[in-house]
Amino acid sequence: MAEDFLSDAEIKRKQTKHRINVHSLQLAVAVALLGSWQILADKKILDPFFYGRPSGVMHQLGVWIQHGTSIGSIWVNAWVTLYEATYGFLAGVILGIIFGVFLARNPTAAEIFAPYIKVSNSIPRVVLGSIFVLWLGLGSISKVALAFVLVFFPVFFNAFQGTREADNKLIANARLLGASKRQVTTKIVFPSALSWITASMHVSFGFALIGAIVGEFLGAQRGLGLLIATAQGNFNPNGVYAAMLLIAIMALTAEWLITKLEDRLLKWRPTQVSGTEH
């Protein structure tokens, strides 16, 4: 009997069909959840005064976009939170990498600093937000500082561990090929720690957003955190959800960008076997 492999067009059609199925089921889950919330709230089984409802959230977003919020334009507030988180994130990632790689490459320095790092890591860092507001005032700098502190440690620990795990054989090979200590760090150790570092970046943008928002809770003049605090004070659950939705959009966009960056930086890795194909 002749072999009858599927043609490329047929495989493509199968894959498209599978994708459509998955997406429509995902949509169905969302409709079911939001729909039952809406119905329960409309029938007063869930009190909309405390629990809000999807239509209320959309209405609230519409009001904010059309008329602005009590603390100014929604876009300005979203932008403030976004840049606080972004600056904190960038500072935390850069310094986390520098300190992590440096300490892992200098064991004596690592030994000296180990207890201090342990102590500072064990402090519940969100509490530092109060200190930062006292030190740096109600402006954005105190939020950037809190976001930075939250991002720094996970990146630092991953960079440190990734550097430690760099293959000794590769380091020996590089040295025999003539690499200086500095070249070993930049050309061998850093690339091999990169997959650890990018892994920590995925979680830490979320931490940066938490830092910015908690900072705004503790005292601010603008930002989505302040908007949430204000909505809470006015017994407006829809306002809290609406701000949450905007934050979630930011987090997902950042996650997408970080994944893109990761793919670029780690393009030398073998492609992961994907379970969804065929």
Partner 1 sequence: MSKGVHVKFSNVSKRFRTPKGDWYQALKELNFEIQPGEFVALVGPTGCGKSTALTLLAGLEQSSIGEVSVDGTAVKDIDIRTGFVFQHDATFPWMSVANNVGAGPKFRGLDPKEYRPLVQKWIAKVGLVGFEKHYPHQLSGGMKKRVALAQALINEPQLLLMDEPFSALDVQTRSIMTDELMTLWETTGSTVLFVTHDLEEAIALADRVIVLTAGPAQVKADFKIELARPRKAREIRFTEEFLKIYQNIWEVLRDEVDIAYQRQLIAPSEK
Provide the token pair at 52. 């809000």
Q: Does the footprint of partner 1 cover residue 169 (CB under 8 A)?
A: yes
Q: 178 or 275: whose CB is closer to partner 1?
A: 178
d(C-alpha 248, C-alpha 231), whole Å: 17
**In the structure encoding, which two tokens stand for residue 49, read together?**
């005064």
Q: Is 273 in the site for partner 1 (CB under 8 A)?
A: no
Q: Rounded to the nearest 5°, which phi and psi values hold at 73?
A: -55, 140
Q: Which is nearer to partner 1, 97 or 146 (CB)?
A: 97
Which 170-189 residues touch partner 1, going by CB under 8 A?
170, 172-180, 183, 187-188
- 159 touches partner 1 by CB under 8 A: no
Cβ atoms of 51 and 41 within 8 Å: the answer is yes
Position 268 contacts partner 1 (CB under 8 A): yes
Q: Give 120 or 192: the residue with its C-beta nearer to partner 1.
A: 192
- Could you say whether residue 1 binds partner 1 (CB under 8 A)? no
Task: Tell me phi and psi for residue 219, to 5 degrees.
Answer: 155, 115
Of residues 122 and 274, the one with the C-beta less far from partner 1: 274
Q: Is 232 in contact with 240 (CB distance < 8 Å)?
A: yes
Do 173 and 134 contact (CB within 8 A), yes or no?
no
Tokens of 83: 């840049």
**Total of residues contacting partner 1 (CB under 8 A):** 21
Q: Which of 120, 192, 230, 236 contacts partner 1 by CB under 8 A?
A: 192
x/- string (CB under 8 A) for partner 1, residues 47-86? Answer: ----------------------------------------
Please state, in angstroms and rounded to a whole number, the distance separating the CA atoms of residues 205 and 201: 6
Of the candidates 108, 100, 149, the residue with the CA atom closest to the CA atom of residue 127: 149
With CB under 8 A as the contact rule, which of the stretches 67-75, 139-147, 167-175, 214-222 interacts with partner 1? 167-175
Q: Which residues contact 215 (CB under 8 A, 6 or more apart)?
A: 84, 129, 132, 133, 142, 143, 145, 146, 147, 225
In angstroms, give the least distance from the CB of 194 to partner 1. Answer: 8
Instruction: Check residue 199 for interaction with partner 1 (CB under 8 A).
Output: no
The reply to whether 278 sits near partner 1 by the rule CB under 8 A is no
Measure the CA–CA gap between 59 and 36, rounded to whole angstroms. Answer: 18
Chain centroid to CA 195: how far?
16
Judged by CB under 8 A, which stretch of 12-20, 70-78, 191-199, 243-251 contacts partner 1?
Answer: 191-199
Residues at the site binding partner 1, with contacts judged by CB under 8 A: 167, 169-170, 172-180, 183, 187-188, 191-192, 194, 268-270
